[in-house]
Structure 1
Amino acid sequence: MSRYTGRCACGAVTATIAGEALTVRQCWCRQCQQIAAGSPTTNAMFATDAIALQGDLATTSYVAASGNTLTQSFCGTCGTQVMGQSSARPQFRTIRLGFIDAPNDLAPQVTIWTEDAPPWAVIDPALERFPRQPPPPPQRN
C-alpha cells in the first residue's frame, strides 16, 4: 500500500511511495534557489526502494559545493521538479514536496545550506539548521 502518491503538472510522471519520510528539509543551496525561483526547495527524503516512478524523467547532473554529484530529475514535458539524488547517498531520494499529491503532513524539520541563503530569507527558528551539508538521516526499518 502506498503512503504517498505524486504527479507532475501534466500527469506524464507519477509515483507511489511506500515508506515514511526519513526527514523533510528545506535547502538554501544556490542550485536549489535556481530551481525554486530564489527560494529554498522543500524536500522529503525517502529510501530509494520505497519509491516507484512511472513515466519518463529528464535529468541534469552537476558537482555541487559539497563535492558530490547531484542529479536533478524533472518531467521533460512540463518541467515539474520531481526529485534529487546525491552520489554520496544512493540509498535516499529527495522528493520535491510540490510533486507529492497531499504533502500536508510533511512539514520541514531541518534547513540546510543556510550560509547560501539571501539576507532576506525567513528561516523558521524552530528548525534545526546546518550552514552546509548535514549528516545523512538514519535509515528506518
Structure 2
Amino acid sequence: MSGQTGGCLCGEIRYAFEGEPAATMVCHCTHCQKQSGSAFSTIIGAPEGQVEITGDPARYRDSGESGRSVERQFCNTCGSPLFTRAEVSPQMLWIKAGTLDDTTQFTPSAHIWTRSKQCWVETGDIPAFDTNPG
C-alpha cells in the first residue's frame, strides 16, 4: 500500500503519503458513525511526517468515546471527512480510507470500538476490540 494519494470529493484538498501505513482499521465508535454518516469509519494510520497535504482542511475538535481529544479535519467546500488527529496517538495522522484515489489496496487489520458497532455489522476473521487496543 506504499505511495498512496487521495483527496476530497471536490478536489480542493489533496494528500500523498509514502511508506507503509502503521495501521489499517475499521472504527465503530459512535463519533466516527456520526462523523462519517455511516456504520463505521475505515482509517489508515500514517506517521505524521510521511503525509503531505495540499489545501487547508477545516477542523472540528471534540472528545472521542474514550474521553480524549480528537480533531476531525474535512473539506470546508464539499464536506468530505479526510483526516483525524487523536490525543491517544499524537504522532499519527488517521486518513479516511474512502478518500484514497485507489481503494483496492486497503485491507483492515482490526476492528476497534466494536462495543458500539451496529448490530448487523460482521467483523469476520479480522481481530476485533471492544475499545482501542493498547
User: Which residue identity does 1:53 align to in structure 2?
Assistant: I
Amino acid in the other structure paired with 1:114: T
Contact 1:15–1:51, Cα closer than 8 Å, also in 2: yes
Scaled by the length of structure 2, the TM-score of the pair is 0.93
1:21: which partner in 2? 21
Residue of structure 2 in register with 1:4 after alignment: 4
- Compute the displacement of 1:12 (Å): 0.4
- Which residue number corresponds to residue 96 of structure 2? 96
Q: Percent identity?
A: 27
Q: Which amino acid aligns with 2:122?
A: I
Unaligned runs of 5+ in 1: 136-141
Deviations 1:19-50 (A, max 9, x none): 21111100000011112223100001111110
Is the CA contact (8 Å cut-off) linking 1:6 and 1:99 kept in structure 2?
yes
Quick one: distance in 1 between partners of 2:88 and 2:27? 17
Alpha-carbon distance, 1:111 to partner: 0.3
Residues 67-125 of structure 1: per-residue CA shift (max 9 Å, x gap) = 210000000000111111111211111100111111211111100000011222x2232
AA aligned to 2:93 is: R
**Correspondence for 2:34:** 34
* Separation of aligned partners in 2, 1:132 and 1:9: 30
CA contact (8 A) 1:83 1:94 kept: yes
One-letter code of the match for 1:87? Answer: E
Aligned residue for 1:139? none
Please list every run of 5 or more consecutive structure 2 residues that lacks an aligned counterpart in the other structure: none
- Following superposition, the deviation at residue 65 of structure 1 comes to 2.1
Aligned ranges 1:1-141 → 2 under 5 Å = 3-120=3-120, 122-135=121-134
Distance 2:20 2:57 in 1: 23
Distance 2:48 2:92 in 1: 5
RMSD value over aligned CA atoms? Answer: 1.2
Amino acid at match of 1:109: S
